[in-house]
Every structure is written in structure tokens, then in C-alpha cells.
Amino acid sequence: MKRIVIGVLALFLVGMVGYRVITHGEEPAVKDIDAYQAEMGIPVEVERVLPGTLTVSRNFTGTVEGARQADAIANATQKITAIPVEVGDAVEQGQVVAELDVDMASARSLRYRQSRATYEDAKRDYERMKSLFEAGAVSEQALDKAKLAYEIAARNFEAAKKLVKIEAPISGVVTRVYYKVGETAATGRPVVRVADLKEVLIKIDINETQISGIRNGQAVEVSVPAYPGRVFAGKLENLSLSADPRSRTFEGWVRVKNPEGLLRPGMFAKVAVHTAVMENVLTVAKDAIVEKDGKTWVYVIDEEEMARLREVQLGQESDNRVQVVAGLAPKEQVVVLGQNKLQPGRKVNVVAAQS
């Protein structure tokens, strides 16, 4: 075993001596990043300037609301004994969404209990009279009298139920529950809110510098953080004709169809109002713009793959692109990524190109 170890060490020493002889005793030099970039060029991403369509838009934020929503109101100051719905539940108009205590010593509770007892008695009498009529024991007139009494009692009971049972005012989705079971509802106060979410509204505030070019009926794109990358189409409506004297802003509402029910009240929304569509104009990505000495510039790549800083004049803009009015020609290449490391006249290495 000892002989094997000695042999391996000897081979290792011979190999090291041979390596030193081949490399003349020197290790290979490693270039630093500056030297590499000076030789190969600074890596950048570019795009070619081409005529195209620019959709001009102005951006706002707002909160999603139900286009049609209503509160179920408490019609008595009584303790809540049941709330059979939760936020997100679908309900039909007239469906019970909360119940008040019927055992409390109030006139409303007493009326409810009396009408319920009268209804139950009338129902039993009517069922009994039907059986007797079918057996030939009573006249049709007696049956009709029992039926009328039952129908009157049923209507009175339905009216009395509204005193202690709170119903959904519209069909839709429960978006808010204001009370908990055991708490006392106050007369005239909302207990449950229901919204029809087939369409939603988003209120936006438009300041004086943005109002030019904005009008009712313009197309709108809406996005929410809950669904990244998804855009919902809408229209601007009910744009106010005068600014609020305090905020100096104009109020506008965006209506969005919501057949899938994805947009929910309370969601934060970004709104892009399209004010114009410009055809056959030169544009560049906003990322390409360099601001310097109060002017706007871009880095243009010449035939020798050198970066040249050129002043440009800008026009209208969209969310991520801007019109170039002067300073660029079609098919020129501009840097959109990596320009923060550039200096005029530096060689570049194009690692990616956008069309």
C-alpha cells in the first residue's frame, strides 16, 4: 500500500514539472471585464425603428364598484338572529339575507307572531275543508270561504315577514355584510349589500392637464393586480362638464362588461383611456430615452457597431412607447437596454434585437 501511495505522488510531481515547463512557469492571464468589453463591445439590446401604429392613452387609477348595487335595509331596531348569506354568495331578489328576533317584546314581533298563527290556522282549516268537500260533507261555498280566508292570511303573513326578515333588494352577489349575528340592527341602516356584477363601474378623477382630448364613449383598457397580463375592455361615460372646485378634477366613470364575474367591488384598477390612434408614425420604447442636460436623446448604433448619442424630439406617447417627431430615420437601430453603461463612441455587442 505504501508503495502505491509513493508511486502516485511521484506521478503527480512529474505532471506538475511538465506543466511548468509547457507554460514556462507562468499561469494564463485572465482579462478583466473592462478589457473584454473594450475588445468585444458593451452588451446591449436594440430595436429597429419602423413606422407603426401608436395608440395614445392617458392613465388613471380607481376602485371597482358594482354597476347596480343596493343595500338590504333593517326596518326595525332589533337583534339579528340569523344571516344565512356570506360575501360572494349569489342571491335572488326577495331572498332572505337576514332575520330579526321575533321573540322580542315589540309591536312588530307581536304582529309577526299573530299573523303567523292566523296563517297556520287558516291553512289547516282550508286543508280540512278540501278533504270534507271531496267527501261530500260540505258545500262548495264553505270551501270557497275557507280558501279566501287562507289567501288573506297568507298575504298578511307575507307582509308581516318583511318586518322581521330582511330580503335582497335585487338579484346579484353579496359584496358586504354590515352586522354579525347577535348584534342589534338599527332602523334604516344597511345590513347586507348586493351588487349586480354583470357590469362594473370604475370612478376616475381627471386633472386639468389631462382633460384635453378625453370625451364620453372613448375606449378604455382596465387591468387589476388580481389578473396580471389580462386586459378588460370598457368605455368612458358620465364625464363631468365642470371640475370639482376643491380638487380641480373632472369625474368620469368607466363601464366594463363582467360576464365571468372576475372583477369584484373594492378591487384596485388601472385605467388607460385611449384618446387617439396615430398611424404610420415612428416610435421607440420609452426605455430607450436618455434624459440629459434638459434634452432627450437615444443611442443609435452605426455601421461600425459604435454607439452614437443623438438628440430626438418626442411627440405623443402610450403606456410604454413614445412618438419620435425628429432625430431618427426608419430602420435605424436604437439601444433599449444597456445604455446606462454606454458612452458616445463606444463599441457595442448586440446580444438581442427587438422587432
Q: What is the pLDDT of residue 25?
A: 46
Of 278, 295, 315, the residue that ends a domain is: 278
32 within domain boundaries: no
Q: Residue 272 is part of a domain; what is its CATH number?
A: 2.40.30.170
Of 278, 307, 335, the residue that ends a domain is: 278
Regarding whether 336 and 271 lie in a shared domain, the answer is no
Look at residue 194 and tell me whether its pLDDT is greater than 90.
yes
Regarding whether 348 and 289 lie in a shared domain, the answer is yes
Name the CA radius of gyration of the chain, rounded.
Answer: 39
35 within domain boundaries: no
343 within domain boundaries: yes
Name the grid cell of 44. 446591449
Regarding whether 290 and 257 lie in a shared domain, the answer is no
Regarding whether 238 and 209 lie in a shared domain, the answer is yes
331 within domain boundaries: yes
Regarding whether 219 and 158 lie in a shared domain, the answer is no
Place of cell 455587442: 349
Indicate the length of the chain as a whole number: 355
Name the grid cell of 160. 308581516
Regarding whether 266 and 292 lie in a shared domain, the answer is no
CB atoms within 10 A of CB 288: 26
pLDDT digits (tens, 9 = 90+) for 102-143: 665 466 667 767 878 888 988 998 999 899 888 888 898 988
Regarding whether 349 and 285 lie in a shared domain, the answer is yes
Q: Residue 316 is part of a domain; what is its CATH number?
A: 2.40.420.20
Per-residue confidence at 299, pLDDT binned at 50, 70, 90?
very high
Q: Residue 126 is part of a domain; what is its CATH number?
A: 1.10.287.470
Say how far apart CA 201 and CA 258 lie, in whole Å. Answer: 10
323 within domain boundaries: yes
Q: What is the pLDDT of residue 342?
A: 81
Look at residue 30 and tell me whether its pLDDT is greater than 60.
no
Per-residue confidence at 263, pLDDT binned at 50, 70, 90?
very high
Question: How many domains is the chain built from?
Answer: 3
Cα-based angle 263, 267, 271 (whole degrees, multiple of 5) = 80
178 within domain boundaries: no
Q: Is 79 helix (H, G, I), strand (E, B) or coil?
A: strand
Regarding whether 262 and 230 lie in a shared domain, the answer is yes
Q: What is the pLDDT of residue 250?
A: 95
pLDDT digits (tens, 9 = 90+) for 1-27: 434 333 433 433 344 444 444 445 455
0.85 exceeded by the pTM?
A: no
pLDDT digits (tens, 9 = 90+) for 237-250: 999 999 999 999 99
Regarding whether 134 and 108 lie in a shared domain, the answer is yes
87 within domain boundaries: no
Of 278, 311, 332, the residue that ends a domain is: 278
Regarding whether 263 and 301 lie in a shared domain, the answer is no
Regarding whether 298 and 253 lie in a shared domain, the answer is no
Mean pLDDT over 45-57 rounds to 90
Look at residue 352 and tell me whether its pLDDT is greater than 80.
no
Q: Can you say whether the dihedral through the CA atoms of 289, 294, 300, 305 is positive or negative?
A: negative
For residue 308, give its domain range: 42-52+280-354
Regarding whether 306 and 272 lie in a shared domain, the answer is no
47 within domain boundaries: yes
